[in-house]
Amino acid sequence: ARFPPASQPKQSVMKIMARRWVLLLAAAATFNDEAHGISLRGRGVLQRLNGLPKTEIAAVLRDRASDTAVADAALEEALRFLINPGAGATIDEYMPGCLRHLRGLVKVLRRSYSHASMTTVLYHSCQDQKMFPSAHDGTFKSRALCHQFADGLVTAAEEELATGSQAGYPPLCRRYFQTHGPFNPTAPPSVAPVPVTPTTTTTQPTIKPVDIGSANCPCIGFANVDGNTTVDIDGKKVAFPADLGARCSAWEKNTHPDCIGATVADEDKAWCFEQWCYVDPCNCDLPVPPKTSSYLPNGEYQGIPVYYSYMTCGSVDKWTVGNYPDACVNQHDEEDCEALDKCAWDGQKCLGKELVHACNAPKNEYIIGSEECKCVGILGQEGEILVGGLSYPADLGAGCAAWDKEITPVCKGPDAPQWCNKRWCYVDPTDCKVPGGDPAKVSEYLPGASFQNRQLHYSYDTCPEEETPFVKPVDVGNAKCPCIGFANLDGNTIVEIDGEKVAFPADMGGSCEAWDQGRHPDCTGDGPHKDFCGEKWCYVDPCNCDLPVLPKTSAYLPNATFQDLPVYYSYMTCGGTDKFTGSGNYPDACVNQKSENDCNALEKCAWESQHDECIGKELFSTCNAPKDELKVGKKECQCIGIAGQEGETLVNGVSYPADLGAECGSWDKDIAPECKGDGAKPAWCTMQWCFVDPYDCDLATPPKHSLYLPGASFQNRPLYYSYATCPQSDAPPSLPVPTIAAVDIGNPKCPCIGFANLEGSTLVKIDSKTVTFPADLGGKCEAWEQKTHPSCIDGNGEDWCQQKWCYVDPCNCDLPVPPKISAYLPDGKYQGNPVYYSYATCGGTDTWTQENHAEACVNQKSEDACVAMETCGWNGKECLGKELIETCSKKKDPWVVGFKGCRCIGIVGQEGDTMVNGLAFPAELGSECRAWDEEIAPECQGDGDKPEWCTQKWCYVDPCDCVLPDETPPKLSGYLPGASYLNRPIYYSYATCHPGTNDNYTAQHHPNACVNKVTEADCSVDAKCKWTGTRCLGKELAGMC
């Protein structure tokens, strides 16, 4: 229906429209509503009039229109009285008339409208004041005051309906008089005119319908907008209409430089005449998927890149094929697809990555509005939109922002209204329900503009005033092997490549990305780049990685750690192929060792026979090694991040170390501005903390969101930190749990014995010469002879020089190849038995024994030769060490090797020394029950009284294999804090050497040892202790065994 002329008075306009509604609805009543598609609103009216004759229907509708007219007239009369009450020049004279008019107004409104719609009716009247200023003469000084009055009137009406009280009306009249009076009794007040834009009319603006494409993939953006959008094409700025892409149109025609002067006859210019529009890829169900726009590379719609579609407009994309070779849709195989960071292969075709996973990624509600009422429009457009002659950004209202600030005339200067600073955006009124918020309102800025052929609406309520934690989603790899490290950081990480320092981003490896492209020396410049440059990878946790291709240790961060483990990386978790490691860049990588011998020659590697490949040794043993809780936090809430990186992380302009928060530390000390200089400083300056995963943190004190790095993330979650997981400086001093460097301890069916990671030396007689080996000789799998044995020093020795071996317990060795007695320690003993060694447990082959140890039992090939050797025995098939046949079952002296439930460990009879805090103890320290301190410990020397523990016997024991009758647990050794046995810290026991003996040393020197805490309360406050139900033990005893 055509609207009446704008020149007619509003009352006349309303009556004309009411008559037309009567005629239209009466006519509609004669049709079948379902067959003819009558709107839901019309259908509801018809249902109430069902069965009435046409004449009665018309009468009812006329009455309804009349009631509406009366209501509208009453509303105008009440508002007219408010600003011109006649003789009411004082508040006392004003109040009676005001109350009478308000009560009459409410009575009429109740007859014509429901209470639920009264607010909307009154708000519309407030809006009419600005759109039809001549009708109200500027009733209220501002729309905000009008809205406040409307809210108050509805509240007063509801109170009257519920309780009968009319107490809510007087305050309204009084407040209006105070803010707008006193009044001239004979003339209307002088009110400044409200600016009227050229498009202002006395009716709701007409929306010009446009082609918005297929309903399965509708166009987005604002149509019918004045202004321009600037697009960069081949380095030149090209001006398009402001509503570029908001409707189906041949936008390039006569605008794109290549299309100026083109005709439909030009086949290579056919794309100039094809129609397209921008679309939401998450709301587009077409056979041909949309593509990311090269016009708006930085643009976003509801938090994802901007896409466009020809198909939704019924066209064919003839532009992308010839003009956009890097478009995902132009990549026709998986390799080309995955080489582009923005693309992903869905199994059949190449799509924009957002189409694979970004649609379900979390969105930043601070920018795009609440989930229940998202902003519409495209952020990041360049250009301008004209509003009443004023120039606003081209992306006006496309996201939450205080768009009026500094632009709208009344918002300039110090006296700007509060609403100037309020954040708002345009929304879809059909998809906007903010809990507790007001409905979206029609925009006065762009009265003729539209979104999907609906008039533009805006909302303040959808835009939060306070920014909440949000992280920009990144690709964190396969869920079976997620990336570790932090994403979205400012700063840099320094990596040494071929002797040069190379700067990478601070979040290197924290997400799937082609990190080497444009940074690695082989991936920069104009020349051909290596294959690995375009491959994506990230750092991963080898203990949380279940992929067919195992991760590898990083050459970029050789000294860095993640939760006390070496740093690993993976191409496979990012869908890539490792073309770096195998292309000559990392020859010592375990994965590049193609034979078992080459693999075992590297200390860090181990041969994995199931897959016939060489892998990092940590994948065998490190994942189960105990971790230093003083460094990586409590087991229930471990620190995250990669420790040991070089570089910097920027926090509000302050430079912190690149590994900020990756492990427990006083990170703020001497760095945070409040923690610098002389004078008193906050207590938190010296407190230890680290970043943690809030989803994997089970502490009484929950972690808190980090304000240092508000945009950073770990596995697409905001960063959180914890003080509670780290030991604090004001805690009572106690014996620290040592950090154990995991080593290869061989096959679990025949583990190495002896101690690893010792300082000192072991002396071995070889060809009448004394050769010095490390103190932990044989305590782990290693090629011990290499560069140490006289026959191996020049590097050209026999094969056995490269073979790894270790000492083993012959009574705990179930391998096809039996161990052999050691020629290095002919007088050595382990738990009363001769010392044996094995190549097989380390994955090696024994080529040494046959050539260098003629008297070894295994070299006796006949029974006669075998039994002639005192240490050998014949088992019917082969010659073995006699212990392997009879010795393991013979009785042992518990006063020497410890009691059966808790045997001593270590090797007796080694020559050399073990260094303990600068003191040289025997190399066999702690290997059997002796008073080891009596002759060496400083407290035990000289004349005078000596501590009782000086003469007490003790030995080192395996804490996971130690159960004594009196249940006295072993204690952590303070002598060898970094040493290990089976990758566990070294423990000692007095009790196994003489059950019932009191441990006077621990009580005197380590009063805070866990075993000295006799109550659960005392035990629980110590981070390193755990209550078992009956006693307090070191937490590592509860978790490591």
Picking from 249-263, 879-893, 981-995, which range would have the lowest pLDDT averaged per residue?
A: 879-893
Label residue 22 left, alpha or beta by phi (over 0 means left) and psi (-120 to 50 means alpha): alpha
**At 1002, which helix (H) or strand (E)?**
helix 1000-1005
pLDDT value at 407 more than 90: no
pLDDT value at 406 more than 60: yes
DSSP code of residue 201: -
- Number of C-beta neighbours around residue 763 at 10 A: 15
Rounded distance between C-alpha atoms, residue 851 and residue 291, angstroms:
71
What is the band of 264 on the pLDDT scale with cuts at 50, 70, 90?
Answer: confident
Share of the chain above pLDDT 90, in %: 19
> For 485-528, what is each residue's pLDDT tens digit?
888 888 889 999 988 999 999 999 999 999 999 999 999 888 78
Higher model confidence: residue 206 or residue 268? 268
Higher model confidence: residue 843 or residue 241? 241
What is the band of 211 on the pLDDT scale with cuts at 50, 70, 90?
Answer: very high
Higher model confidence: residue 957 or residue 89? 957
What is the bridge-based pairing of β-strands 605-608 and 717-718?
Answer: unpaired
**At 14, which helix (H) or strand (E)?**
helix 10-28
3-state secondary structure (DSSP) of residue 694: helix
pLDDT at position 802, please? Answer: 85
Taking Cα atoms as reference points, which of 476, 475, 483, 474 lies closest to residue 562?
483
> For 908-959, what is each residue's pLDDT tens digit?
888 888 888 778 888 889 999 999 888 888 888 888 888 888 989 999 998 8
pLDDT value at 1022 more than 60: yes
What is the band of 447 on the pLDDT scale with cuts at 50, 70, 90?
Answer: confident
Rounded distance between C-alpha atoms, residue 286 and residue 308, angstroms:
12
Taking Cα atoms as reference points, which of 995, 948, 946 lies closest to residue 970?
995
User: Cα angle at 419 between 416 and 422, to 5 degrees?
Assistant: 120
> For 43-69, what is each residue's pLDDT tens digit?
334 334 444 444 444 444 444 444 444
Picking from 26-35, 122-131, 313-322, 488-497, which range would have the lowest pLDDT averaged per residue?
A: 26-35
Taking Cα atoms as reference points, which of 270, 210, 268 lies closest to residue 244?
210
Mean pLDDT value across residues 232-242: 92
pLDDT at position 19, please? Answer: 40
Mean pLDDT value across residues 387-406: 88
Rounded distance between C-alpha atoms, residue 288 and residue 216, angstroms:
12
pLDDT at position 82, please? Answer: 57
DSSP code of residue 719: -
pLDDT value at 689 more than 90: yes
Label residue 397 left, alpha or beta by phi (over 0 means left) and psi (-120 to 50 means alpha): left
| Cβ 690 vs Cβ 722: under 8 Å | yes
What backbone torsions phi and psi does residue 68 show, to the nearest 5 degrees?
-65, -40
pLDDT at position 622, please? Answer: 59
Label residue 831 left, alpha or beta by phi (over 0 means left) and psi (-120 to 50 means alpha): left
What backbone torsions phi and psi does residue 457 show, to the nearest 5 degrees?
-120, 155
pLDDT at position 493, please? Answer: 92
Higher model confidence: residue 157 or residue 567? 567
| Cβ 907 vs Cβ 778: under 8 Å | yes
Mean pLDDT value across residues 617-622: 63
What is the band of 74 on the pLDDT scale with cuts at 50, 70, 90?
Answer: low
Higher model confidence: residue 848 or residue 569? 569
3-state secondary structure (DSSP) of residue 689: strand
Taking Cα atoms as reference points, which of 929, 903, 926 lies closest to residue 809?
903
pLDDT at position 259, please? Answer: 93
pLDDT at position 582, please? Answer: 54
Measured CA distances, 768 to 658, 783, 914 (Å): 54, 22, 23
pLDDT at position 56, please? Answer: 47
At 525, list the tokens.
């410049």
| Cβ 471 vs Cβ 488: under 8 Å | yes
3-state secondary structure (DSSP) of residue 649: strand
DSSP code of residue 637: S
pLDDT at position 37, please? Answer: 32
List, in order, residues 6 or more apart from 64 with CB less than 8 Å away: none
Taking Cα atoms as reference points, which of 601, 606, 614 lies closest to residue 795?
601
Rounded distance between C-alpha atoms, residue 356 and residue 350, angstroms:
10
Mean pLDDT, all residues of the chain: 77
Rounded distance between C-alpha atoms, residue 275 and residue 250, angstroms:
4
Residue 889, beta-bridge partner list: none
Taking Cα atoms as reference points, which of 128, 135, 73 lies closest to residue 105?
73
Rounded distance between C-alpha atoms, residue 290 and residue 309, angstroms:
5
pLDDT at position 362, please? Answer: 66
pLDDT value at 430 more than 80: yes
pLDDT value at 619 more than 70: no
Rounded distance between C-alpha atoms, residue 458 and residue 454, angstroms:
12
> For 331-357, what is each residue's pLDDT tens digit?
888 888 878 777 777 667 777 765 666
What is the band of 828 on the pLDDT scale with cuts at 50, 70, 90?
Answer: confident
Rounded distance between C-alpha atoms, residue 292 and residue 353, angstroms:
10
pLDDT at position 834, please? Answer: 87
H helix intervals, 868-994: 894-897
Question: Amino acid identity of 184?
Answer: N
Rounded distance between C-alpha atoms, residue 361 and residue 85, angstroms:
59
pLDDT value at 965 more than 90: no
Rounded distance between C-alpha atoms, residue 454 and residue 260, angstroms:
33
Rounded distance between C-alpha atoms, residue 391 and residue 502, angstroms:
46
What is the band of 194 on the pLDDT scale with cuts at 50, 70, 90?
Answer: very low
Rounded distance between C-alpha atoms, residue 823 and residue 740, angstroms:
30
pLDDT at position 319, please? Answer: 63
Higher model confidence: residue 877 or residue 192? 877
pLDDT at position 452, please? Answer: 92
Picking from 146-160, 731-745, 834-848, which range would have the lowest pLDDT averaged per residue?
A: 731-745
At 286, list the tokens.
């077409």
What is the band of 288 on the pLDDT scale with cuts at 50, 70, 90?
Answer: confident
Rounded distance between C-alpha atoms, residue 420 and residue 532, angstroms:
52
3-state secondary structure (DSSP) of residue 334: helix
pLDDT at position 520, please? Answer: 93
pLDDT at position 536, please? Answer: 93
3-state secondary structure (DSSP) of residue 810: helix
Question: Amino acid identity of 319?
Answer: W
| Cβ 727 vs Cβ 630: under 8 Å | yes
| Cβ 1012 vs Cβ 1002: under 8 Å | yes
Taking Cα atoms as reference points, which of 987, 1007, 996, 926 lies closest to residue 967?
996
| Cβ 606 vs Cβ 615: under 8 Å | yes
Residue corresponding to tokens 């309906």: 161
- pTM higher than 0.85, yes or no? no
Q: How many CA atoms within 13 Å lie on the side-chain side of 754?
A: 34
Higher model confidence: residue 515 or residue 802? 515
pLDDT at position 306, please? Answer: 92
At 46, list the tokens.
């018809």
